[in-house]
A and B are shown apart, each in its own frame.
Chain A
Amino acid sequence: MMTGAEILIDALKKEGVDIVFGYPGGVVLPVFDVLFKTPEIRVVLTRHEQAAVHAADGYARATGRTGVCLVTSGPGATNTITGLANAKLDSIPIVVISGQVKTAVIGTDAFQEADMAGLTRPICKHSYLVQRVEDLPQVLKNSFYIARSGRPGPVAVDLPADVAQAPLENYAYPEHPDIPSYQPPEKGNANQIRKLAAAVKQASRPVILAGGGIVAAGASAELVRFAEKTNIPVATTLMALGCVPDDHELFLGMPGMHGRVSANYALMECDLLIGMGTRFDDRVTGDLKSFAAGATIAHVDIDPSEIGKILRTQIPIVGDVRSVLADLDKAVAPRPANEWNRIVREWSLVHPLSYVQDPEGEILPQYVIDRVNLQASKDTIIATDVGQHQMWSALFVRHRGPRAFLSSGGMGTMGFGLPAAMGASLGFPDRPVVVITGDGSIQMNIQELPTCTLNRIPVKIVVLNNSCLGMVRQWQELFYDGHYSKTCLKERPECRSVCSGHRPDCPNAFWPDFVRVAEANGMPGFRATRVSEVDEVLCKGFAVDGPALMEFRVKKIENVYPMVPGGKPINVILLGAAR
């Protein structure tokens, strides 16, 4: 005989889970009580449930395994919503288990009751409310299978307290999922694959756009092999950075709103566009009418609903992209490099990423990221938050392999970075983990600093402090006539009468004092305010045996370029040369 709570923990063990991110509370106590007696599973107590989900997400992104999160009902459950939606949009496998009030009082507005199954329905791959302990083993088996199979995604399991306490005779963890209605595709259609191989042979200006599906499928090596065999240049989306090493000669960079010029031009000018594990997000395509307008579109994706969702697709291939790449490799003949390869190479050379750091001037954020690269080894995992620093990181971080650049892509969730870095570090205790964040983003989950200190999670926190919400400020400057509405993080009520937004000689102090915040949370804090201090601060911070925070007071009025204004064709690029 076992209780529901014991079954849950046994299931976690059988699924190979050795770490759970969570937060206890009333109705989930039966489960935490079993965890108390289960040394094999490490439970990391975050300081907020949102951070627990992002940590499970970061763990999953870095390791490729399913992240697990355990929270209580009501506010505990609702606090996971942002994390779940974030994981859904980036197709990250996590299982979030929430306590629920007893079945007898569900629907009565009981204390800490929230309809978790209902709340999570549109933002999870699937969700369950477990009403009988007899159903629990199969629900758990199904949940883990759904989360990691097909197009991965988050699964929510709502477990009422009485089900967690109920006994079940003859428990055995099921060997197989039982979901007749769910059969994720595997192999791609052979005819379509032949068609694509023929299109590759005929194309004179082919491009591959690789997305997060390449990471999910573990197909980076296959992608590179295919690209090399056919000499097709590859652009990788934010979610796929690292799939092709950024010093590879076929690598075009990230395309889109803040993409490399070479990548954008190549997508616009190509005659064959092969999307692989990507969903043609609006941040990538810009204006849809002009996007790859002259190209034959081939789209490989495991999710049939993605094909034709955005672009008319002439060669649709539904399947696991790794399996499709293997079949494609057999079907396609080697293809020599041609004039097109020379042209795209030239675009890369003519439009390099650049910035000019004045040694006596204010610190540029791009410069700090460049110097972080020098501290990083090939094992280093870099997480980011969301905003300008995220795009600069995407552009300037050296991407050497998959699952090493963790960023909230689809959802753009500020506050993701620190907990995601924690999750990655706990997944790979021997690899260095850095989070590059901004002063806005870090404050959205800054309560996790003591979690790092107490659990000895040696995350290195790089705060690019420009004392404003930089990306929003940039949009206000470019598209809202410089009306800097609520983007200054030093703003006080009396500012409006003397300042229209971001005065360079602003006398206001910036709060919080990040160095003191770090110290108050038990980790060393360092600050650089001059260019000459950047390397010194990085060296000190990276030398710390444990977590450390490094704050860089960077130039406030600095825009991310290249930039394609929202909804414009992606070859209409602002380069900001005047600045």
Chain B
Amino acid sequence: MTEKYTLVITVANRVGVLARISGLLSSRGINIESIVGCRTENPDVYQVHLVIRGTPELVQKISKQVQKLIDTIKVVDIPHKKGGPIREFMFAKIPARKDRSEILDIVNMFGAKIVDISPSFLTVDLSGPTRKIDQFMEMMKPFGIREYIRSGQIAVGS
């Protein structure tokens, strides 16, 4: 059975390191469902959170291959079904001429924030578990979502 995993990969902050990781996955025919990368509190260290789907055996083998890269400091694989903290971030641009108050109710209900406003659009940001963002999107569908962008998932081991 394939499951979703977040690989939390801590690497040296160097040119090309992301290419090494993504190349390693693509050479084995594995699709990256989402990827987030950022410097950590230590400027020489970078962290990549990437979501892949696979069997536990495959994910373990991939983790070992990633660990083998010279620039890799640490690899942790977090299965999503375990239900540890996994978060995503989203911007959505919603047309809002007439239904403004109704939209605001939903925005407040979800704890989303208005980050930009114009006569015809509201731009909101929302973070939380993927399911919460999916639900918010579902609720906003009737109003028509003009544009949205999701960050992809980041996870932290429990």
Closest B residue by C-beta to A131: B15
Q: Which residues 25-78 in B have Cβ within 8 Å of A in the complex?
A: 27, 60-61, 64-65, 67-68, 70-73
Residue A89 lies at the interface, judged by CB distance under 8 Å to chain B: no
Contact with B along A306-317 (1 / 0, CB 8 A): 001100000000
B70 touches A126 (CB 8 A): yes
Residue B104 lies at the interface, judged by CB distance under 8 Å to chain A: no
| Contact A121 to B70, CB < 8 A, known contacts A305-B64, A305-B65 | no
Q: Kindly state the separation between the CA atoms of A179 and B12 in the bound complex, as whole angstroms.
A: 9
CB distance from B16 to the nearest CB of A (A): 6
B72 touches A122 (CB 8 A): no
Contact with B along A128-148 (1 / 0, CB 8 A): 010100000000000000100
CB distance from B24 to the nearest CB of A (A): 8
A304 touches B20 (CB 8 A): no
- By a CB distance below 8 angstroms, the chain A residues around B20 are 121
- By a CB distance below 8 angstroms, the chain B residues around A117 are 16
Residue B149 lies at the interface, judged by CB distance under 8 Å to chain A: no
Q: Kindly state the separation between the CA atoms of A146 and B24 in the bound complex, as whole angstroms.
A: 19
Closest B residue by C-beta to A125: B70
Residue A39 lies at the interface, judged by CB distance under 8 Å to chain B: no
- By a CB distance below 8 angstroms, the chain A residues around B109 are none
Q: Kindly state the separation between the CA atoms of A122 and B25 in the bound complex, as whole angstroms.
A: 11
B61 touches A181 (CB 8 A): no
| Contact A118 to B19, CB < 8 A, known contacts A146-B70, A304-B67 | yes
Residue in B16, B23, B24, B73 whose CB lies within 8 Å of A181: B73
- By a CB distance below 8 angstroms, the chain B residues around A308 are 60-61, 64
A180 touches B19 (CB 8 A): no
A305 touches B61 (CB 8 A): yes
- By a CB distance below 8 angstroms, the chain B residues around A122 are 23-24, 27
Q: Kindly state the separation between the CA atoms of A304 and B65 in the bound complex, as whole angstroms.
A: 9
Residue B92 lies at the interface, judged by CB distance under 8 Å to chain A: no
B73 touches A180 (CB 8 A): yes
A129 touches B15 (CB 8 A): yes
Contact with A along B1-18 (1 / 0, CB 8 A): 000000000011001100
- By a CB distance below 8 angstroms, the chain B residues around A180 are 12, 73
Number of interface residues of B (CB under 8 A): 19
Q: Kindly state the separation between the CA atoms of A376 and B104 in the bound complex, as whole angstroms.
A: 88
Residue A113 lies at the interface, judged by CB distance under 8 Å to chain B: no
- By a CB distance below 8 angstroms, the chain A residues around B67 are 304-305
Residue A182 lies at the interface, judged by CB distance under 8 Å to chain B: yes
Q: Kindly state the separation between the CA atoms of A155 and B61 in the bound complex, as whole angstroms.
A: 23
Q: Kindly state the separation between the CA atoms of A121 and B27 in the bound complex, as whole angstroms.
A: 11
CB distance from A282 to the nearest CB of B (A): 16
- By a CB distance below 8 angstroms, the chain B residues around A303 are 68
Q: Kindly state the separation between the CA atoms of A129 and B14 in the bound complex, as whole angstroms.
A: 11
Q: Kindly state the separation between the CA atoms of A126 and B15 in the bound complex, as whole angstroms.
A: 13
Q: Kindly state the separation between the CA atoms of A117 and B23 in the bound complex, as whole angstroms.
A: 13
B61 touches A121 (CB 8 A): no
CB distance from A100 to the nearest CB of B (A): 14
Q: Kindly state the separation between the CA atoms of A256 and B119 in the bound complex, as whole angstroms.
A: 74
CB distance from B19 to the nearest CB of A (A): 7
- By a CB distance below 8 angstroms, the chain B residues around A129 are 15-16
Closest A residue by C-beta to B24: A122
Q: Kindly state the separation between the CA atoms of A308 and B56 in the bound complex, as whole angstroms.
A: 13
- By a CB distance below 8 angstroms, the chain B residues around A125 are 70
Q: Which residues 167-185 in A have Cβ within 8 Å of B in the complex?
A: 179-182
B64 touches A121 (CB 8 A): no
Q: Kindly state the separation between the CA atoms of A146 and B70 in the bound complex, as whole angstroms.
A: 8
Closest B residue by C-beta to A310: B61
- By a CB distance below 8 angstroms, the chain A residues around B19 are 118, 121
B70 touches A179 (CB 8 A): yes
CB distance from B133 to the nearest CB of A (A): 34
A121 touches B16 (CB 8 A): yes
CB distance from A122 to the nearest CB of B (A): 6
B70 touches A182 (CB 8 A): yes
- By a CB distance below 8 angstroms, the chain A residues around B27 are 122
Q: Kindly state the separation between the CA atoms of A145 and B52 in the bound complex, as whole angstroms.
A: 33
Contact with B along A15-41 (1 / 0, CB 8 A): 000000000000000000000000000
Closest A residue by C-beta to B44: A180
Q: Kindly state the separation between the CA atoms of A308 and B60 in the bound complex, as whole angstroms.
A: 10
Which of A121, A129, A131, A146 is the most central at the interface, judged by chain B CB atoms within 10 Å of its CB? A121
Q: Kindly state the separation between the CA atoms of A117 and B71 in the bound complex, as whole angstroms.
A: 14
A181 touches B70 (CB 8 A): yes
- By a CB distance below 8 angstroms, the chain A residues around B61 are 305, 308-309
CB distance from A571 to the nearest CB of B (A): 27
A181 touches B64 (CB 8 A): no
Which of A182, A303, A304 is the most central at the interface, judged by chain B CB atoms within 10 Å of its CB? A182
Q: Kindly state the separation between the CA atoms of A131 and B14 in the bound complex, as whole angstroms.
A: 12
- By a CB distance below 8 angstroms, the chain A residues around B60 are 308
Closest A residue by C-beta to B72: A181
Q: Kindly state the separation between the CA atoms of A125 and B15 in the bound complex, as whole angstroms.
A: 16
Q: Kindly state the separation between the CA atoms of A218 and B91 in the bound complex, as whole angstroms.
A: 58
- By a CB distance below 8 angstroms, the chain A residues around B16 are 117-118, 121, 129
Q: Kindly state the separation between the CA atoms of A131 and B15 in the bound complex, as whole angstroms.
A: 10
Q: Kindly state the separation between the CA atoms of A182 and B24 in the bound complex, as whole angstroms.
A: 18
- By a CB distance below 8 angstroms, the chain B residues around A181 are 11-12, 70-73
Using CB atoms and an 8 Å cutoff, list the residues of chain A in contact with chain B: 117-118, 121-122, 125-126, 129, 131, 146, 179-182, 303-305, 308-309
Using CB atoms and an 8 Å cutoff, list the residues of chain B in contact with chain A: 11-12, 15-16, 19-20, 23-24, 27, 60-61, 64-65, 67-68, 70-73
Query: 12 pairs across A/B with beta carbons < 8 Å?
Result: A118-B16, A121-B16, A121-B20, A121-B23, A122-B24, A129-B15, A180-B73, A181-B12, A181-B70, A182-B70, A303-B68, A305-B64
Instruction: Given A118-B19, A121-B20, A129-B16, output 10 extra A-B contacts at Cβ < 8 Å.
Output: A121-B16, A121-B19, A121-B23, A125-B70, A181-B11, A181-B73, A182-B70, A303-B68, A304-B68, A309-B64
Which A-B residue pairs are the 8 nearest by beta carbons?
Answer: A305-B64, A126-B70, A181-B73, A305-B68, A182-B70, A181-B12, A305-B65, A181-B71
